[in-house]
Chains A and B, each alone.
Chain A
Amino acid sequence: MKRIFIFGALALLLAGCSSQLDQIRPKDKISSAAVNEADLSKLTNGILNRMESLTVSFWCDGDYLGENFTAGPGFDYADVHGEIVSSSSSWAKSRWQTGFVAIMHINELLKSANSASAESAATLQAKGTAYFCRAYVYYELVSRFGGVPILTEPSMGVVPISPEADVWAQIIADLHEAEKYLDSVSNVYRPSDEACWALLSKAYLWTGDKAKAIEYADKLINSKFVLSKTSNEFAGMFVAGQSSKEIIFALANKRSSSFLRIFEKMNDTDASFNYSMAEELRTDLFADKNGTGDIRKDPTYNPAFPVRIIKFPNGGQNMGQFIANEDPSASPIMVFRLADAYLTKAEAQGASAGLATMKTFMESRYASVNLPSSMGDKEFQNLVLDENNREFYAEGRRWFDIKRTKRTDLYKTWNGRDHLLYWPIPQDEIDLVGKEAYPQNPGY
């Protein structure tokens, strides 16, 4: 009898367990089938989270390639333009991949929003955010590569490269679409009508539609934003807990993990970081040519700490920081501010009408402005480019300003390589889809 009991007990071990195989699942993820309409606002947040990391990973391109930087302590650079001279450039590949991965996620959000049954606030926000972000990512791509594949929905297939003009047209169309769903700005950390106008004015500037560029810049200038007028106000736009009235759109960057830290690249608390201000800019950039008492000088550069670009304060002490930063890792990521509108408008207006725009703008940035009553076209363009660089130094603009204005003469090590204005299509991507779909840009 005992024997049978023991047998019976042991036989329990023979029980099958195949149903267990279906029950294994990750604890921090859910099946995509389980995501529903109620989750739209969370998916929207996910896209903005992605925009944060995308923006930071693209951040330094315009300054580094624009000869604004020299090697920071512990680094050494040879030919800065060399980063994009070859089709195997890791820069080209990573920007391309980061951009298109983001496009897929945005298109997935749009797909979910479009299939939503109700036109709730969350649905509108999702659609507006998706259209805006798609335009924003395409803006980053087209200004680097020129023509790129246009995807308005997720696709596993090969989508050939479209001409540059089509990409700009798509950007403008997306922004107009976004406007329909978005509201006027109430929270600068969310896309708004004003954010769309800022990007529209830039897109029109790039495509040469100056009237439209001015129109959208004016809409911003005439709205509720206010230019910073003191160094503290200016510096305050880049630190955690900012309350600036100049910001049109910024990314919140309040993260609890995977921190994004722009200051690490040029003002790290560690003794080694990638970038310092280019040697000649240390004396030239804020040389007070067109005005004195530039409020941006001290928040950007401290001659006592020559290796540091202090625009993005690291929160550390004894490192020449202009202002404190309570939580450097949670500093907002600037995207558009009112200065964008003025400088875009002035560039679109040209010398005759633009000088007044520049004067208005510069009067808030300088203690006293010293501008002639009239300027030649080239002289004015130089002024606008210089002001752009003073305003947006270390914010990744310089190379793109020079590309847009075709002023490669301002580079010291360009050596006539005008083909570099269009980055190479990554060779790895060409290898995967073929040369027919992705013809290489000329010169590579």
Chain B
Amino acid sequence: MEDSLKAKLANFFQKPKIVILIAYLVIGTYLCLLMAINFQSQTALQKSTLKRIHLDLEKRAFSLGYFFSERKHGLESIATSKDVLSYFINKSLGMSEAYGLKVSLFVIKQILLKTLQEKSIQGDPIYMRLLLVDTSGRPLIDTASESQEAFFFSSVKTAPSPDEPPIVFIDQENNKIKLVLKTPCILQGEVMGSLISILNLDTVRKHFVDFSPNPSLDRFDLVSNDGRIMRSDDAAQCPDFRELTSMTIHQLPEDQFSLIKFPSERAHAKQMMVTRVTIHNVPLYLLSWVEKKTITGTLTPWQSLLGTAFLALMILLGIVKLVKFNTENLVLQTRYDESKRQQHRLASKNQQLKHEISQRQKIETELEEQRSLQMRSDRLRSLGEMAAGIAHELNQPLVGVRGKAELTLLSLAQEGPLVPQKIENNVQTIIEQVDRMVHIIDHVRLFARNAGKVEISRVDLNDIVCTALTLVMVQFKSYDLHLEKILAPRKLFVLVNPFSVEEVIFNLLTNARDAVESKKKEAGQNYRPDISIRTGSDELENQKNIWIEIKDNGSGIPESIIPSIFDPFFTTKDPDKGTGLGLSICKSIVEEFGGTIDLESREGEGTAFIIHFPECRTPTETDETIPFP
């Protein structure tokens, strides 16, 4: 059971489509998981960023609170210093500036100037101005230079109470906000004057408010309790908080960010995330504001999620395409590799083939040479076969020549000088016989030299047959064989090499002779061998053909060996009787001239070889115009 299940599962997973589908599912699940994690991360990141900003804000507020605390203490220490008190003591003693008080003021001024110079943060002065004023607000000491505006603070006119701690307040004079620290100078429980410091707002902003590791991300502002913003001049980057009322700012919750839209006149209204933190012991807030899109980006988390989903889908499709592409690529690559291998194999085979071809060519050349030799040998053998005929043919004219010559001598001996005419007749006969011999010898020479060559000419086939027969007739007679010649009544022009065709005819007649001789031995005396040679013409498929038939009533060819009869070296004769090349040579000669050679044979009855050549007619020749021999 389990095995079958395992087998089923194994079978199931072996199906490629299933595997791919599962792979896609896994990838899809993975991408969905990534999207979900990304969404969560985005949300968490936003919250974390806001939290970080708020934390940073609190730290800054704490730093500022500490800073103001230090300033208050500093001012207090000056206000309670021996030098300041001595002035007020001396004043209380009734001393005048003309006689003694000036010194105190001078000393106090030196202290204030020293404080002005020494109190700095990284080279930036903390104080812009220090003053000692009396209860009416009249400056007793002012560190300001003569070029600076005279001191006049409306809020300072009010005499502070002895219990009033050093305070920080904002004074707005001529639309300039000043950050002022004031502490009373108390002598014996009575307020004698006030020590006032005007803080350098730029230094405060630079070192506590404006610096930010991410100025593009978050910005800060100092705000008074009543909502007045101690803004920088960098108005281009700061949202126009004037659109916010002081109440609005005052009502902003301290522990969270509020989203505020600015319906500004600018092209795009801004959405700002704003929060504030109170600075300890001073009537100031630290306001933090950041553009919403800086936190959330131009896309909301949901938009981002959808975008991510779309992206995931595209990735998935991309993977599908890629897989498909890779698969096709792989297939192509495989095919390419295979074709390369095939090419190599082919090249190797080619090389092998070339080698074999060259070997074969070499062998064929040798074979051709052998064959040529064989053919020559065969031809020589044929020539040898023809020798008797040739000898007989030559003998006859020689006998004639001898006879005429003897006759002439006899006539001369008997008759005395011969009549010129008779001499001329005898000599003419001798010349004719010699010409006949010359012709025979030339023919034999030409046969030996040209048989097998390809030079062709337009010849009458009947002439070729007659010439061939003259060479074999004597032989046939010697064998007591009857050779019947039936030639076509008209000329049969063919485009062949006459000597090669003579060779063919000679070979076929020789085979016929051997066939009838063989049968004669078996058949006994009642057998009458018969060999015939005929020529004629016919028309097959609109092609005029000339044919030669060489027929015998010999032993015939067994049907089983007929298919091999034209094969080279195929012979049924003893090795000394034949090379087996005769019929092969005949076939090649015939086919060389565009002809065909066929045979009809019946074992024990005889054989007929039929050779067809295409008739060679001039364009004007017809059956009627071709002359008769």
Real complex partners, A and B?
A: no
